[in-house]
Each structure stands twice: as C-alpha cells, then as structure tokens.
Structure 1
C-alpha cells in the first residue's frame, strides 16, 4: 500500500480535479489517499496579486476554514471535501452558510462547524497546514500539493498534476504511474505546456 497525502483548497478547481483523479487511482492502484486542507487565501494574504484573483481569494476563506475545522476535530476531511466540492465545482452553488451547512450535513458532521467560515479560530492551523503541505514542494506554489511516501520511507512531493478533465479508470492509473516516474527522477523539476481547454470536471 502506498500512502498519498494531498493538500487542497476547497475552492481550487485544479485541486478538485486532482482529488477526483486520486480517488480513481485508489480504485486501480494499491494507493490510499489522505486529504489535508491548504488555504490559498492565507498563502496569498500579503502578496501582490491581480485584482480578479484577490476577489477570488477573498471568497476562499470560508470553505477552507470550514474544512480545516472538520480536519482538526475529526481527521481526514475527505467526506466534507466531496460534499463541498460537488456544490462548489459541479453545481456552482453560491458560497455561504447554506452551502456549508448542507455539505456538513451530507458528511454527517455538526452543522455548527459552519461558524468557522467567519472565524479566525482555525487560521493558525491553516498556516501550519500550508507549511506542512508546501514545505517540501515550494512556498511559491499552491494546490494540488501531493506527498507520496515511497517504500523506502522517503517522500516524493510535488505540485500538480494540473489536468482537465478528470482521468478515469485505467487512464487515471497510467497518469499516476507517469507522475510517479517523472517526479521521482532526481533533478527533475518541471514539465509544462500552455492550457488549451477550459476546466472540465
């Protein structure tokens, strides 16, 4: 069994697709994924970014804080991430308390955790999660951040993959094999091309 840890921001569409890909990988490879929260709003709090991205980030605090509250109290936030992500990315529901309480209820979690969206109570934990997820990858990156614990105990950490739409079945497995191969190659840092299609979940 290969243990994989993925850091996600609930609002990030690329992290959402990567998380759905990893769930497919679990089905076709001997892999177990654990999910962790990373806040892009916190990561970019003091950075100069374009106006459109600042507006996007300003609305990303709520879902990240709710997911972090779940992670702190109940462990792996897989179920609430799926419930949040379906609403945010597939159903395009407006962010807010109604979305958070519905997602928490679907995940059989206390709806009172929605209060975290407007609280700084979990921001120190968010910062610690950011540092843990991005430390081995690079603080200038973001989500998805993935750490793979290799058989020898070493950790292969990387940002990505950025892919759309979500690979399914054996296509997901082949992408996994390739990502492990290139990211595990000493001295390998980047493989990239221009995006030619919109985000498709």
Structure 2
C-alpha cells in the first residue's frame, strides 16, 4: 500500500523547491503517492511589520505564482505537479527567481502555462483577488495540520504533518528513500515536535 504524502508549496520558495525535488526522487524509490497543494508566502507573512523592506517586496512577488497555482489546482488538479515543476525550474534552476513587487513573475507564469498547454487565461488571476478565498483555504489546511509559526513547505506523512524538512541539497536515489523513511518514523512519533540547527549554506539546486 502506497504511503500518502500531502505537500503544501509556494513555488517561489527555494527551500520548498529543494524539498519538493527530494520528494520527486523519493517517488522513484518508494511506493508513495504525493498530493500537491498550494500555500502562500503572502498569506503566511501578512501583518509582519518586522520584516525588512526588501523581503516585503519579495513577498509581494510571491502572490502571483501562488494565485495561479491555486487556479490550476481548481481547474486542472492533475496538472498541478507539472505546473510546479515547470515554474519552479524556471525560478530556481534557471535563475529567474528572487524578483520583487506585485506582478514580477507575470512573464514566467505566461511562459509556464504556454509550455504546458494550459489555458493562458489562468494567468489573469495573478494580479487579482479572484481565487484568494480558495488560496487561503488551501493555506489554512496546512496551518491546521501543522500549527502556526512555520514556513514552506508543509508535509503530511500519513497522519503526521510538519514544516520541512529544510534541505540545502537534493538527496538522490536510495539516499532520498532512506531520508524519507527516517522522516516518516520520526514524524509519526506522537511526542516529537521539533529538530533544528542553523544553516551553513544556501540551497544548491543541482548538488
């Protein structure tokens, strides 16, 4: 019987991208079924006035991809995995991420939809609030599963959910499988809550 994994993502987050590519590796070596669900760094950081002005502008840019991911989830959920892979590759592996301000990723969104032969009209939600209600509902599912004071990604492994794991490199092959096995074991221990240390390197997408 396959292990069910729910993976909440914001496409603009580099750490989330690393974790998602780990899960794509896990799919090759373990019997897992991944259900991809949008969440939003914009929603996550609402009202946080302590953030730097630079990061606030970065968060503004994240609204568009999250809204479009939500629209894809609503209209073509079977293509959400493809959408995340395509736009994530552009933002992270191809260096088109890290932009600032509302609408910053409009061109990348349009290219991604065209590449996947998805309805180009989906892009129209990027700079509107048309799907914000549904996006917030998806996001709240993650918060309900794991609690507050977390970031992206949120994973639910079986009955247990947690923030992360936060990785800076993508485990490959059987190493990816072993890390997944350990995550399931630790995550499903009912009295486990947190394991953390300071990062010493930035995400390396091809390492």
> Which TM-score bucket, shorter chain as reference?
over 0.9
Give unmatched runs, 5+ long, in structure 1: 150-154
For 2:200, the equivalent position in structure 1 comes to: 196
Say whether 1:21 aligns with 2:30.
no
1:53: how far off?
2.1
Superposition pairs of residues 46-195 of structure 1, within 5 angstroms? 46-51=47-52, 52-76=54-78, 77-93=80-96, 95-149=104-158, 155-195=159-199
CA contact (8 A) 1:101 1:112 kept: no
TM-score normalized by structure 2?
0.91
1:48: how far off?
2.4
Q: Deviations over 1:130-181 (max 9, x none)?
A: 11112120122121101122xxxxx111110001111111110011011111
Q: Does the residue aligned with 1:3 lie in a helix, a strand or coil?
A: strand
CA contact (8 A) 2:61 2:105 kept: no
Say whether 1:43 aligns with 2:44.
yes
CA contact (8 A) 1:134 1:142 kept: no
- Quote the Cα distance in structure 1 between the aligned partners of 2:62 and 2:50: 15
Give unmatched runs, 5+ long, in structure 2: none
CA RMSD in angstroms comes to: 1.2
- Quote the Cα distance in structure 2 between the aligned partners of 1:103 and 1:194: 34
Aligned residues: 196
- Quote the Cα distance in structure 2 between the aligned partners of 1:108 and 1:3: 28
